[in-house]
């Protein structure tokens, strides 16, 4: 993908060159501007027809992802499209191929047409309900090419080594190597929430995890005290 990331670290967008015939996929509603490009909304499903519709609706209901995805295709030699996430924060390119990833809900921004993904079921009901990493399903990449993820705040890579598990607050996980195993558990306390951390992901194996330095739910909680209540 021929691209450049434009703007400061808090509010960037991806400016993609898309000459005639080249195609990319992007998150529904992420287009900022385009010229010499056509876009088409499609169901977020690998299946067609009514079966594809049901799968897209089911994915949206249990994973939090949009039931639609946008496909853009260049229609002129100088085709170009700008793509931006819904929340402020940084954007990072992941190279898909020898390394495949699993993505948290809302992390996907756009990718080459040669990159695909599958929605895979969480391992147990505890992860599905409490994991915070995509609900009942999580997104796993396949194929090859460039894929862009976005985060609220900055992004950092953390290494996981065999025998030395890495524990991360669920709300701060953006993406992780697909070969890593992980478990969901309470952070501390009898009930698990006495430290204020709630539930965490414990990663095992060899690989890396990409985290975001902020999370939207903590921001919403911090702002709640300043918002008028219904009784005000």
pLDDT in tens, 72-96: 999 999 999 999 999 899 999 999 9
- Residues 150, 89 contacting (CB under 8 angstroms): yes
Q: For residue range 96-146, what is the model confidence (pLDDT) as tens digits?
A: 999 999 998 889 999 999 999 887 776 554 554 544 444 566 789 999 999
Token code pair at residue 22: 């080249």
Q: Which residues pair with 153 in a beta bridge?
A: 89
Full-model pTM: 0.83
Burial class (CB in 10 A: 0-12, 13-18, 19+), 87: middle
From the candidate CATH numbers 3.30.428.10, 3.40.50.970, 3.40.800.10, 3.60.160.10, the one assigned to the domain spanning 2-217: 3.60.160.10
Q: Which residue has the higher pLDDT, 198 or 71?
A: 71
Least confident of 22-26, 50-54, 162-166, 220-224: 50-54
What beta strand segments (E) does the chain contain? 2-6, 13-17, 23-27, 31-35, 37-43, 68-74, 80-83, 91-96, 101-103, 108-112, 115-121, 137-143, 145-150, 155-160, 166-169, 173-177, 181-186, 199-204, 207-212
Domain locations in the chain as residue ranges:
2-217
Torsion of CA 149, 151, 157, 159, to 10 degrees: -90
At residue 46, the pLDDT reads 54
């Amino acid at each position: 993908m021929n691209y450049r990331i434009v703007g400061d670290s808090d509010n960037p967008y991806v400016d993609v060159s898309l000459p005639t015939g080249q195609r990319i996929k992007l998150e529904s509603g992420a287009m900022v501007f385009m010229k010499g490009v056509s876009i088409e909304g499609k169901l977020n499903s690998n299946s067609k027809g009514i079966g594809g519709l049901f799968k897209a609706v089911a994915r949206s209901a249990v994973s939090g992802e949009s039931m639609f995805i946008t496909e853009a295709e260049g229609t002129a030699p100088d085709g170009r499209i700008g793509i931006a996430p819904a929340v402020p924060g940084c954007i990072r390119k992941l190279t898909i191929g020898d390394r495949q990833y699993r993505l948290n809900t809302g992390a996907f921004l756009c990718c080459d047409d040669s990159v695909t993904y599958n929605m895979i079921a969480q391992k147990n009901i505890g992860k599905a309900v409490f994991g915070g990493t995509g609900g009942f399903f999580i997104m796993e990449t396949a194929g090859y090419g460039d894929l862009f993820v976005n985060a609220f705040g900055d992004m950092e890579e953390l290494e996981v080594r065999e025998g030395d598990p890495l524990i991360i607050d669920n709300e701060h996980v953006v993406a992780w190597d697909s070969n890593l195993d992980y478990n969901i558990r309470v952070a501390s306390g009898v009930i698990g929430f006495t430290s204020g951390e709630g539930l965490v992901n414990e990663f095992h194996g060899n690989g890396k995890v990409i985290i975001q330095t902020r999370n939207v739910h903590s921001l919403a909680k911090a702002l709640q005290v300043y918002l008028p209540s219904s009784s005000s």
